[in-house]
Structure 1
Amino acid sequence: MSHLLRQVTAPLTLSCAGRPVARYDLRPDVGHDLAPRPCLHPVSTLGGVRVTEFAPADHVHHLGAGVAVPDVAGYNFWGGRTYVRGQGPTVLDNHGEQRHLEFKLCDPDGFVEDLEWTAGGCLVLRERRTVAAVPLSPDAWALDLTFTLTNPGTDEVSIGSPATNGRPGAAYGGFFWRAPKEAAAPAVFTATAEGEAAVHGGTADWLALAGDGWTLVFAGATAETRRDPWFVRTEEYPGVGSSLASDARLRIAAGATAVRRVLTVVADGRLDRARAAALVRRAVTA
């Protein structure tokens, strides 16, 4: 990536091996209660199969693929209802917004972007986001997404989830990918386990979600990212996330940062374990 590009407001098209594979929308046209944020949608395989969903009827605050967190210092950057300890799901006017500031670099196959997370008239976090499309094979590519969250204030900022606020099993927040809902629920598996109940809430070097003519293989690309448990849904809706706050709140001291990097292999067809693992290895070393 080599081009400096600052004043961009229109959605970007991300290309891989000369083919358009994703659209990056800087400011989706959604209401404040959906926590507006830049997102990737549609994302497609090299064969043209769409593998993201945007504002589906079952969860209208699911916006393609990106970074979304339900509790940052008490503000909702996920959208929808807020989970308050002792109250459960509550409708609160505490939604934040991720605002695009500028691109530091921007090429057809990726970009480096600066954002700010604001809520209640306050700057809560700064973010540096790096996204790249990496070719792997004639029928697979990888989305390489790194996000660095920096606390710009003088007090600690903590990140939570419904799980840390009293709702067991709902540790979502961080990188999140909403896949399209199909007639049948997708298969989900890791190198050693299979099915939603077996993989949800656990850690694994990689996790695959396979639907009708497509497979997504998610992998933490750093040791710290691999320690984050996977949030997985297949029956209620198809979605996978890497959880920043599963058992306890993630605390970011004043001036400190939290960094995560997730690789997502986007492949045509339904991969088996051996092929999924091979493509992850290729993506990590690409």
Structure 2
Amino acid sequence: MTRTLSGLVTVPLTLTCAGRPVARYELRPDVERRLSPRPCLHPVTTLAGTPVTEFAPADHAHHLGVGVAVPDVAGRNFWGGRTYVRDRGPTELDNHGEQRHREFKLCDPDGFVEDLDWIADGSEPLLRERRTVAVTPLADDAWALDLTFSLTNPSDAELSIGSPATNGRPGAAYGGFFWRAPKGAAAPAVFTATDEGEAAVHGRTADWLAMAGGGWTLVFAGATAETRRDPWFVRTDEYPGVGSSLASTSRLAVAAGGTAVRRVVTVVADGALDRARASALVRKAVSA
């Protein structure tokens, strides 16, 4: 990535791999405020052109392709939809925030470095984010999307990040990196190096986790020590989605001026991968 840009970019960016378009990055999705507008990747495809993301589906309109979404940043909702309130359950609140693109530091067809502000109530940013996205070819039928996000607390007081799980809803520790996959006629398969099925992999840590649908496989890997310690949030039957959990059993505190960093590398492959090939491609992707 060598081209430097500044200012507000208002058109979607197209990312390419081996000369083929594989992802579009939308800076200003046309969604309602209650869906917590945020830059996202959609559509994302395999090298053969099979879509592997979904945007604002009927079952969860606040699922916006691939990106970073957090349901509780100091009580503000940057996930979209209802907020889980302890002893009340999912509740409609006027607490939705927005991630606003500030500038690209670098931008090329194979990736970018972006600065964003996480805004709520029209005030100063609750968080400032540096987001780095890179596309890497792996094989004739596979490529990797490397996404790192660094969340900095610009205030002079500690800020904490939560989830429905930390607010009283067991098993719902979503928040952080999130990938909404397309819903097919049958639920996708999901597996790690040792386990298989949603019940066996959801809420647990694993070096990598694969989701396989009709004609595609996604393999997710945490590529920093902190990310590897984050449990995976997994859904297959209700809808197909995979994310990492910033706040699984307790709130994540970000000190004044402090930064939380996470990196997730995702292999995007045509066809069905077995464990051996999924593992091999992840190793190549993370070390690339």
In the alignment, which residue of structure 2 is the partner of 1:36? 37
Aligned-partner SS, 2:69: strand
| Counterparts of residues 9-20 of structure 1 (less than 5 Å) | 9-20=10-21
CA distance in 2, matches of 1:120, 1:229: 31
- Out of 156, 159, 174, the position equivalent to 2:158 is 156
| 2:215 partner amino acid | G
Gaps of 5+ in 2: none
1:250 counterpart = 2:256: no
Say which of 140, 143, 149 aligns to 1:141.
Answer: 143
Q: Residues of 1 paired with 2:235 and 2:269: CA distance?
A: 20
Q: Write out the 4+ residue segments of structure 1 that deviate beyond 4 Å after TM superposition.
A: none
Give, in angstroms, the shift of residue 17 of structure 1: 1.0
Give distance in 2, aligned partners of 1:129 and 1:15.
18
TM superposition shift of 1:121: 2.1
Q: Secondary structure at the match of 1:197?
A: helix
* Offset at residue 90 of structure 1 (A): 0.5
Query: What is the rounded CA distance, in whole Å, between the counterparts of 2:276 and 2:6 in structure 1?
Result: 42
Match of 2:262 in 1: 260
Following the alignment from structure 1 to structure 2, what is the Cα–Cα distance between the partners of residues 159 and 18? 39
In the other structure, the counterpart of 1:99 is: 100
Residue type at the aligned position of 1:185: A
Instruction: Say whether residues 1:218 and 2:220 are aligned partners.
Output: yes
Q: Distance in 2 between matches of 1:167 and 1:114?
A: 32
In the alignment, what sits opposite 2:5?
A: 5
1:114 aligns to 2:123 (yes or no): no
- What does residue 54 of structure 2 align with? 53
In structure 2, distance between residues paired with 1:148 and 1:4: 20
Q: Distance in 2 between matches of 1:110 and 1:133?
A: 6
After the TM superposition, which residues 119-138 of structure 1 pair with which residues of structure 2 at under 5 Å, given as runs?
A: 119-122=120-123, 123-138=125-140
Unmatched runs of 5 consecutive residues or more in structure 1:
none
Residues 109-138 of structure 1: CA deviation (Å, up to 9, x unaligned): 000000000001221000000000000000
- Is 2:187 the counterpart of 1:185? yes
Instruction: Find 1:237's aligned residue among 239, 246, 254.
Output: 239
CA distance in 2, matches of 1:5, 1:174: 26
2:122 and 2:107 map into 1 onto residues whose CA distance is: 29
Give the whole-Å Cα distance in 2 for the aligned partners of 1:114 and 1:22.
Answer: 19
**Which residue of structure 2 lines up, in the alignment, with residue 81 of structure 1?**
82
Q: In the TM superposition, what whole-angstrom CA distance separates every residue of 1:41-81 from its partner, at most 9, and x where no partner exists?
A: 00000010000000000000000000000000000000000
RMSD: 0.5
User: Which AA in structure 2 matches 1:54?
Assistant: F
Normalized against structure 1, the TM-score is what? 0.99
